[in-house]
Chains A and B, each alone.
Chain A
Amino acid sequence: MTDQLPLVPFLLLAGAAVGGALGMVLARNVVHAAFWLLEVMLAVAGLFLLMSAEFLALVQVMVYAGAVSVLMLFTIMLTLRRRDDAKRPRDLSMAALVLALLFGLAVFFAVSGFDPSPGVMPAAAPGIEAFGRLLFTKWALPFEIASVLLLIALVGAVWWGGGDEER
């Protein structure tokens, strides 16, 4: 990875991400929205690769593009009685649009005057090996807490999502 980040791949991936997000919000069909979300996830994985975060790109593809999208599609499938139920009105509320635009404006003003970086990307970027070493030394405690959290989520999801005939 050079110390200069080229513009063209960034623009392609950013366009794919924003376009996919718009497609998700504007989609009439819930299943189509789930696939648009999958496209956004893959574009974000590409952006992670662009920022030389290889491990995160891998996790993004496996967890989000793999597991979360399938979970979404399963839930959509299980909560729809007929095929036509997937088609919905577009649900565009004016108040939400105004609120999101105001929030975006605030964030834009906060971001535009704020760039503490030297402008170019630093050349040195350690790879997966350094990431793993740091994860099991400096970040070992948060790592363990995260595993406990995932266990709790697993038990909770089984409890809520499982059949309720035995309770």
Chain B
Amino acid sequence: MTVGLSAFLLLGAVLFCIGLFGALSKKSAVMVLMSLELMTNAVNINLVAFSRFLAPTQMTGQFFAAFVMVVAAAEIGLGLALVLALYRRAQTIELDRIDRLKG
């Protein structure tokens, strides 16, 4: 038995859906950021799988995945800094209680 491209695509889809569910349903800002990281990882699996199965010598997908990792690292660093700033200001990171802009 061998594994084809679609197995990796399905795995990426499953992980992305779990991450999407977490990002939509969680009430803690840190949990939302964690779910976003999960979604990024699912995308990276897809990119690397496409690269490996379709263009193994050019490795385009691998470079894309590497740049996605760069952007995700920047995003998580800024996101967590924002969470810390939010915590200092509002004394909570519960997204339900951060409603200063609510009319």
Q: How many residues on chain A are close to B (CB under 8 Å)?
A: 86
Asked if residues A71 and B80 are in contact (CB atoms below 8 Å), the reply is yes
Contacts of B10 in A (CB 8 A): 108, 111
Contacts known (A37-B38, A64-B41, A68-B76); A160 close to B84, Cβ less than 8 A: yes
Chain B, 16-40, contact with A by CB distance < 8 Å: what is the 0/1 string?
Answer: 1111111011111011011101100
Asked if residues A131 and B62 are in contact (CB atoms below 8 Å), the reply is yes
Q: Looking across the interface, which residue of chain B has its beta carbon closest to that of A142? A: B67
Asked if residues B2 and A97 are in contact (CB atoms below 8 Å), the reply is no
Contacts of A120 in B (CB 8 A): 2, 4
Q: How many A-B residue pairs have CB under 8 A?
A: 228
Asked if residues A107 and B17 are in contact (CB atoms below 8 Å), the reply is yes
Asked if residues B13 and A107 are in contact (CB atoms below 8 Å), the reply is yes
Q: Looking across the interface, which residue of chain B has its beta carbon closest to that of A37? A: B34
Contacts of A72 in B (CB 8 A): 30, 33-34, 76, 80
Chain B, 67-98, contact with A by CB distance < 8 Å: what is the 0/1 string?
Answer: 10111011111101111110110000100000
Interface residues on B, range: 35 or more
Contacts of B7 in A (CB 8 A): 10, 14
Residues of A within 8 A of B (CB): 4-7, 10, 14, 17-18, 21-22, 24-25, 30, 33-34, 37, 40-41, 44, 47-48, 51-53, 55-56, 59-60, 63-64, 67-68, 71-72, 74-76, 78-79, 88-89, 91-93, 95-97, 99-101, 103-104, 107-108, 111-112, 114-117, 119-122, 124-126, 130-131, 134-135, 139, 142, 146, 149-150, 152-154, 156-161, 164
Q: A21-B38, A131-B59 given. 5 additional CB < 8 A pairs? A: A64-B37, A68-B37, A71-B77, A79-B83, A79-B93
Residues of B within 8 A of A (CB): 1-11, 13-22, 24-28, 30-31, 33-35, 37-38, 41, 44-45, 48-49, 51-54, 56-59, 62-63, 65-67, 69-71, 73-78, 80-85, 87-88, 93
Task: Give me the 9 closest cross-chain CB pairs, A-B, nearest first.
Answer: A153-B74, A161-B81, A96-B24, A96-B25, A100-B21, A104-B17, A7-B1, A160-B81, A117-B53
